[in-house]
A and B are shown apart, each in its own frame.
Chain A
């Protein structure tokens, strides 16, 4: 298979590879021409390598530019007040506390609903569905949901929850976030569980454990670190979502702990504030953006670092 692939690949490749090869094998014959060709080939390689290095640098530059903008604009509005006071009209030293709590509430709902569902889906895919037809359909649909436009998930939740209940609510926002988190968690759970060595399962079955016991007490614990990583990544993803919340939880200037009422969220408040005319609000908006971005990045890095160390620990 591999050999067949390689020959067909070579022959179907640009013919430029062919003449380049021959002189290298017969160095004495046409040295002058080959030398210029060789130099050209070498320089093409170097230029392409250089361009690709430049591309990598470019990617880092964008990251640095965005983080720099956030720091330079966001630090101005950063203060302890941000975490203590609720949103207020300009000139009253308002903060973002209610928005932070609102985001925590909605992300918590999203995680509480999305995590068990996502894990169950992942377990089913990896342990029961496996390579069956239904499993491949579920896996495929899950991948589609994974990258579905989040604003459409919001529209869907508006239609099935906000409209019938007649209320924009933290619950609706949380459910929209759960639907976004679910496929992320399902995907990582499946990937991680598939990495658990079959010897674990065989050992458990050999001891007479039932399938559910094997899954719950052997496979899941073995995969728990990786699953936690998946959950953290999902939380990081939904914490910054704005579009689905516009149509589900609306926003709130005041404190609200009622799950059935409109609730503030950090991304929504940032959206309103950053595009407001008041300098104080604009500063707060950027401070909020700084807060949420670094929070999300920290979650991402933390989850990757734990994964890295676990992987290294296992290898050792």
Chain B
């Protein structure tokens, strides 16, 4: 059946209108490829000056000194990756829980509305998340959550180098409200619907036969989930998480509000940090045409695009594989 209809465009008589029609559609499809290529090319070309000047070390240099025109991508890269990974650590269990609840426990009539309600979290504009994070969540973190965490985890020994000039102090830091952890929590809420929806789709696509086998052998719902379903769809579940990660990496406005915007490698979970996207949003207005700073920002953008490209490509691959099986 697929073959019959699939040949519509191919076996068409060479009528000029038909040719024009399919060429127009093909041109539209090529716009997609051209757009991606052009974005990569333009970002690289505009950022080339930065790579040329600082060399490849630009990527792991920790310097960020605008007055002396010394720039390195490391703090922004670490900030981007750590805030996104922390967000995943928070959002993944919750997102999985939501998906599990929606597929196994939720009363049928509630499934639709509940699923939509969770997905609505994804529709809220990111600027609103930023405002909420800065004006509501951050003060609460500073007054309640952070002091509690500091006290509870005081036993964790700091990891420092020999002369204690650098290290990681876990939760022992002033409770400022904004910072790495707060940014991760806001990000976690933002990517939660993506992870939950993708996980739910994966769980729903698991053949019922598989689950029935588990139940028939007397396994509980949870045992069937962990013993049968999860091993069977492991790849796709990982794809769902990566999809969320891809979202978190490029998030801009919300992160700019709550990450604390410090171009330094964070030395605790409360430390202010910066992400590539937040650096671009903060510094772009000040970057003059033709300046090295503008090139640095484009170079950062290029790096971000490459990282998200790889993560998203992986996610799609895993999710698609799951769908085929």
Q: Do A and B bind each other?
A: yes
- CB within 8 Å of B: which residues of A? 1-2, 5-6, 9-10, 12-14, 16-17, 20-21, 24-25, 41-42, 44-45, 48-49, 51-56, 58-60, 62-63, 65-66, 69-70, 73, 116-117, 120-121, 123-125, 127-131, 134-135, 137-138, 140-145, 147-153, 155-156, 159-160, 163, 179, 182-183, 186, 198, 201-202, 205, 210-212, 214-215, 236-237, 239-243, 246-247, 267, 270-271, 274, 285-286, 289, 292-293, 296-297, 300-301, 304, 308
Can you identify 28 A-B contacts, CB atoms within 8 angstroms? A10-B228, A13-B227, A17-B228, A24-B217, A41-B220, A45-B220, A48-B222, A49-B105, A53-B101, A55-B93, A56-B106, A62-B189, A62-B192, A63-B118, A117-B28, A138-B33, A141-B36, A144-B309, A147-B308, A149-B252, A149-B304, A149-B305, A156-B42, A198-B5, A211-B12, A211-B22, A212-B17, A242-B127
Q: Looking across the interface, which residue of chain B has its beta carbon closest to that of A201? A: B5
Q: Looking across the interface, which residue of chain B has its beta carbon closest to that of A247? A: B284
Q: Is the CB of B301 within 8 A of A240?
A: no
B91-123: contact bitstring with A at CB < 8 Å (1 yes, 0 no)? 001111110111011100000101011111101
Q: Is the CB of B101 within 8 A of A52?
A: yes
B187-224: contact bitstring with A at CB < 8 Å (1 yes, 0 no)? 00100110010000000000101100110011111110
**Residue in A130, A153, A202 whose Cβ sees the most chain B Cβ within 10 Å:** A130
Query: Which B residues are in CB contact (< 8 Å) with A66?
Result: 124, 128-129, 132
Q: Is the CB of A160 within 8 A of B18?
A: no
Number of A-B contacts (CB under 8 A): 313
Instruction: Tell me if B325 is interfacial: C-beta within 8 Å of chain A.
Output: yes
Query: Which A residues are in CB contact (< 8 Å) with B26?
Result: 124, 128
Q: Is the CB of B29 within 8 A of A124?
A: yes
The main secondary structure of chain B at its interface with chain A is helix
Q: Is the CB of A152 within 8 A of B304?
A: yes
Q: Is the CB of B277 within 8 A of A53?
A: no
Contact of B253 among A17, A60, A153, A271 (CB under 8 A): A271
Query: Which B residues are in CB contact (< 8 Å) with A73?
Result: 135
Q: Is the CB of A155 within 8 A of B28?
A: no
Contact of B196 among A9, A59, A151 (CB under 8 A): A59
Instruction: Tell me if B177 is interfacial: C-beta within 8 Å of chain A.
Output: no
Known: A6-B210, A6-B213. A145 touches B325 (CB 8 A): no
Q: Is the CB of A59 within 8 A of B94?
A: yes
Q: Is the CB of A144 within 8 A of B5?
A: no
Q: How far is the CA of A205 from the CA of B20 in the complex (A)?
A: 19
Nearest CB in chain B: distance from A199 CB, A: 9
Known: A6-B213, A24-B218, A45-B223. A242 touches B125 (CB 8 A): yes
Instruction: Tell me if B154 is interfacial: C-beta within 8 Å of chain A.
Output: no
Instruction: Tell me if B52 is interfacial: C-beta within 8 Å of chain A.
Output: no
Contact of A137 among B9, B33, B101, B232 (CB under 8 A): B33
Q: Is the CB of A56 within 8 A of B221?
A: no
Contact of A152 among B112, B121, B222, B250 (CB under 8 A): B250
